[in-house]
Structure 1
Amino acid sequence: MSALVSEVGTRTAAAAHNLVKVYGKGDTAVRALDGINVAFQAGRFTAIMGPSGSGKSTLMHCLAGLDTVDSGEIHIGQTEITKLNDKDLTKLRRDRVGFVFQAFNLLPTLTAEQNILLGLELAGRKPDREWFDTIVNVLGLRDRLTHRPTELSGGQQQRVACARALVARPEVIFADEPTGNLDSRSGAEVLDFLRMSVRKMGQTVIMVTHDPVAASYADRVVLLADGRLAGEIHQPTTESVVNALTHLGA
């Protein structure tokens, strides 16, 4: 299937083929996704952008198995997730996908270390302590592991959320406006880490953002408008993203 190959010789981490998602019925129906075909390379950092209402968050939620689709196919690796039942979909999200959201979603009664390891604990999996140590050291969280979320800055909380997403070694990390609640310095730290996780750890990151500066950290920007693909930018800069969004009316 051509939609599952983005470039010859590269492995695809996630893909959508003829994806349609409709909200509402009849005259009030909105086609949030209108026949989208897109593939995301493994080991790359991709940003999804577009004007408000373009379908970017809907696309990410569908790709991650957080929302259903009306028609079309979604693959994570070689698995077509649109055919999975609820139990298998839950298992896939737990074992093969990581999430970083705008809201940090940390449990306030747990320490940073406990929050990082919670997903593995719930799955009955033992952490790879060497991998855990690598992530913690890279993120600069070593001296914060015993702190609870209220004792951490926003940037530190988001770094804990990034560590939680990475510790299970997922095939794909989906990041939904990960810097939306952060100041520019903390946001840059999180984006630096996401980019480094791709370049040095081989991670795959797919990020939704409205911020051209955040998008400039990615290897590629996928542009949406009115639920359809509207182009892409390779090796984006802040300026190239701003220009593209201006042409889309964002």
Structure 2
Amino acid sequence: MTSTSVEPPETAAAPAVTATRVTRVYGTGDAAVHALRGVDVAFARGAFTAIMGPSGSGKSTLLHCLAGLDALDGGGVRIGDVELAGLGDRRLTLLRRERIGFVFQAFNLLPTLTAEQNIRLPLDLAGRRPDPAWFARVVDVLGLRDRLAHRPAELSGGQQQRVACARALVTRPDVVFADEPTGNLDSRAGAEVLGFLRASVRDMGQTIVMVTHDPVAAAHADRAVFLRDGRIVGDLHRPTPELVLDRLKALGG
């Protein structure tokens, strides 16, 4: 069975991320799990894409392969014009630090640092100074101006995730990968974080690729891509919660 190729619409910007015939297998022999089976997919620059599918469909594995966090067993991934397979460990680390942002379900903030220090951390590790105008814009888009001096324990869950989003955006990455970013939040805080991610695409031209199981979260995206059994099986532009839920039901998710 051949994979389904999913491309962005013709009017979209050139891809920020491209996966070509990506395969990932865990284990060997009879115990082998084929997490990804020849995935072809491109993610347009300046767009918000949700990756969805039933449990075990391969959506988080795909995100990790796209971000260079997991090795490929076949195929290739490009971030812009850079092929990840051709990079050594040091260059891959630098690419993730400088051109990729990450937001995970766990906020991963350092408890002893203030919100501002957590946001600046990727720049500090890279020995770079923040662009004052860009830093101010990120902080204002995420509504964190009056929380910069607070430590994580003094922030709500939603505020901590907004700090994590700001940390992902502060380096002006080519793409932000978000893995279930609202999974630990209540519905109100989750909606706020999704609204801020949406605003970063609309107002700042950011590219976001998000794994989610939530049809309401996916409805904040420009596009939803669906996986089942390690293959791309669908593509939905301008998703609504109802359309996404119907598609997931059809997939058995």
TM range, normalised to the smaller chain? over 0.9
Offset of residue 5 of structure 1 = 7.3
Which residue, out of 65, 87, 92, partners 2:90? 87
Counterpart in the other structure of 1:109: 112
Q: Which residue of 1 aligns with 2:70?
A: 67
Secondary structure at the counterpart of residue 13 of structure 1: strand
- CA gap of 1:124–1:236, structure 2 versus 1, over 3 A, is same
Are 2:221 and 1:218 equivalent residues in the alignment? Answer: yes
| Structure 2 counterpart of 1:52 | 55
Assess, with a 3 A threshold, how the Cα gap between structure 1 residues 213 and 8 changes in structure 2: closer, same or farther. closer
Matched, 1:132 2:135: yes
Q: 1:52 to 1:5 in 2, by over 3 A?
A: closer
- Structure 2: gaps of 5 or more residues: none
CA RMSD of aligned residues (A): 1.3
For 1:16 and 1:6, locate their aligned partners in 2 and report how far apart those are by CA, in whole Å: 16
Structure 1: gaps of 5 or more residues: none
Where in structure 1 do 4 or more consecutive aligned residues deviate above 4 Å? 2-6
Match of 2:181 in 1: 178
Query: How much does 1:7 deviate?
Result: 3.0
- 1:7 and 2:14 matched: no
Partner residue in 1 for 2:40: 37
TM-score by length of 2: 0.96
**Count of aligned residue pairs for this structure pair:** 249
TM-score (norm 1): 0.97
Q: Which among 233, 236, 246 is matched to residue 236 of structure 2?
A: 233
In 1, Cα distance between the equivalents of 2:7 and 2:52?
21
TM-aligned CA deviation for residue 4 of structure 1: 8.0
What is the identity, as a one-letter code, of the residue corresponding to 2:53? G
Q: Distance in 2 between matches of 1:195 and 1:115?
A: 22
Take 2:252 and 2:129, find their aligned partners in 1: how far apart are those partners? 48
The answer to whether residue 202 in structure 2 is matched with residue 199 in structure 1 is yes
Q: Aligned partners of 1:129 and 1:220: how far apart in 2?
A: 32
Whichever residue aligns with residue 78 of structure 2, its letter is H
